[in-house]
Structure 1
Amino acid sequence: MSQRQYVQGPVVRTGPQPTQTSDQALLDSRGPEGWEHTDPWRVLRIQAEFVEGFNTLSELGPSVCVFGSARTGTDDPVWAATERIAGKLAASGLTVITGGGPGVMEAANKGAAEAGGTSVGLGIELPFEQGLNRHVTLGINFRYFFARKTMFVKYAQGFVVMPGGFGTLDELFEALTLAQTRKVTAFPVVLFGSDYWGGLVDWLSGTVAGAGNVSAADLERLQLTDDEDEAVAIMLAHRERA
């Protein structure tokens, strides 16, 4: 009987999959003792991921990240919209970057690849998601979320955020926080799907802004649309200004 393959960072293995990911081992202070399990050793692995990421992505050119749910099926209208948006971005000369997994990520990679563009996938070691989708033309697998997140923010000049869950929200708010605190140069953030994102935008502009916890300028970073061409045009306009 053939055994299942799984990914550990850049390495593909076959056999029983570990129950603990590298991120979990790093953040869990209750792990086993010994040099190979201690933080000084992990620093070398983390350094290697940054070096590999910087070296691989340094010449991408203007790029846009497309975020969204890994659970979106091929029969979902969001899948089709994502594929079309990514195709238009790629046809306009923009590299498309995703997390390299299934769902929205695969739809975006497919749209970019079939439009003849560079379709980047930045994968992550997860117990329930293994390997990059088949539409990635340039891919890296990471062990550590924070190294992967750095690559998203460093090499993208804009973000198109499709409907998604906790991971999508994490990526969205990290990008907004870095822009708010001027850790990165400001970039456009498009939320696609007013039915899905409208409640969040209303809560931010009402409750959160009303309490003085964000400013009007912070909220201006978010652009809500249901128009695929508008989402693409916002990214292209920012490229022209950059």
Structure 2
Amino acid sequence: MSIQQKDRRSRPRPGKEPQLTRESWRVFQIMAEFVEGFEQLAQIRPSISFFGSARTPRDHPHYGLAEEIARLCSDSGFSVVSGGGPGIMEAANKGAYEGKSPSIGLNIQLPKEQSGNPYQDISLQFRHFFSRKVMFVKYASAYVVLPGGFGTLDELAEILTLVQTGKTREIPIILVDGQFWSGLLDWFRHSLCEAGTIDPEDLDLLQVCNEPQEVVDAIFSHYEHRGFEPSAAEQEMLLEL
């Protein structure tokens, strides 16, 4: 193949320029999501991020459990951050809304399932999962993870990876309802650890709680000998998140 032929094949094909322009301009949309998120959430510390299924009905025990945990956290001085949608997200926002501290929803535009719940003091809208994920992590003093599906597992894996690799500070990561999570934890222990893909000590990043007050106590226990605000070293770490 001649140099001329290579050059001709590497040129943008007709019709590609408008698509490239659209992609380039999307950078500003992404920047706007980050800027608004930083401005809105920087003042809500300490906060706790809640996760769980959008499909959980209001009469399900997990809904009531999430609502009670969030209310206790809110009354204890923690802002509560959820995905802003229905199910467990709604329960968390509702509990916080009835408590003393702010209720925040990080809403995502989806083809189905996601619709904003009415229990949000601060409501942010996102098109991109990755910018929304940063907001969940950046200002969180703890993660409370109730039963959920792929989205919940995605968020759980995200925070575990960031803490494990030292890309964010170590915070309480609490799984609620030990029976629900037992199969996953057994798989971590007997498949991942035995295969050497994680270290046994990595399991110590997780805690399992079943009762609402147990969750709050676990969070306070973690911070018993330090403040909720990140240290200077942790602040530098979070700047590069």
Q: Could you tell me which residue of structure 2 aligns to residue 55 of structure 1?
A: 39
Maintained 8 Å contact 1:62/1:239 = no
Q: Could you tell me which residue of structure 2 aligns to residue 3 of structure 1?
A: none
- In structure 1, stretches of 5+ residues that fail to align are 1-30
- In structure 2, stretches of 5+ residues that fail to align are 1-14, 228-241
Question: 2:48 aligned with 1:64, yes or no?
Answer: yes
Maintained 8 Å contact 2:107/2:116 = yes
- Helix, strand or coil: the match of 1:34? helix
Residues 80-138 of structure 1: per-residue CA shift (max 9 Å, x gap): 01000000000000111000000000000000111132100000010114542100111
Query: Structure 1 residues 33, 75: CA separation in 2 closer, same or farther (over 3 Å shift)?
Result: farther
> 2:59 & 2:21 partners in 1: Cα distance?
44
Q: Could you tell me which residue of structure 1 aligns to residue 139 of structure 2?
A: 155
Question: 2:152 aligned with 1:168, yes or no?
Answer: yes
Residues 143-188 of structure 1: per-residue CA shift (max 9 Å, x gap): 1100000000001111010000000000000000000000000111
AA matched with 1:108: A
- Tell me the percent identity: 48
Query: Structure 1 residues 32, 108: CA separation in 2 closer, same or farther (over 3 Å shift)?
Result: farther
Query: Structure 1 residues 32, 196: CA separation in 2 closer, same or farther (over 3 Å shift)?
Result: farther
AA matched with 1:41: W
Displacement after TM superposition at 1:38 (Å) = 2.8
> 2:86 & 2:137 partners in 1: Cα distance?
21
Q: Could you tell me which residue of structure 1 aligns to residue 77 of structure 2?
A: 93
* C-alpha RMSD of matched pairs (Å): 1.6
Residues 60-96 of structure 1: per-residue CA shift (max 9 Å, x gap): 1111111000000011000001000000000000111
Displacement after TM superposition at 1:215 (Å) = 1.0
AA matched with 1:126: L
Maintained 8 Å contact 2:67/2:92 = yes
Q: What is the TM-score when the length of structure 1 is the normalising length? A: 0.84
> 2:110 & 2:145 partners in 1: Cα distance?
21
Maintained 8 Å contact 1:157/1:239 = no
> 2:134 & 2:157 partners in 1: Cα distance?
14
Displacement after TM superposition at 1:213 (Å) = 1.0
Displacement after TM superposition at 1:239 (Å) = 3.8
> 1:189 & 1:176 partners in 2: Cα distance?
8
Aligned length: 212
> 2:165 & 2:122 partners in 1: Cα distance?
31
Maintained 8 Å contact 1:35/1:41 = no
> 1:161 & 1:37 partners in 2: Cα distance?
39
> 1:112 & 1:32 partners in 2: Cα distance?
48
> 1:235 & 1:37 partners in 2: Cα distance?
47
Correspondent of 1:139 among 123, 128, 132? 123
Could you list the structure 1 runs, at least 4 aligned residues long, displaced by more than 6 angstroms after superposition. none
AA matched with 2:70: A
Q: Could you tell me which residue of structure 1 aligns to residue 65 of structure 2?
A: 81
Correspondent of 1:113 among 70, 77, 97? 97
> 1:161 & 1:112 partners in 2: Cα distance?
16
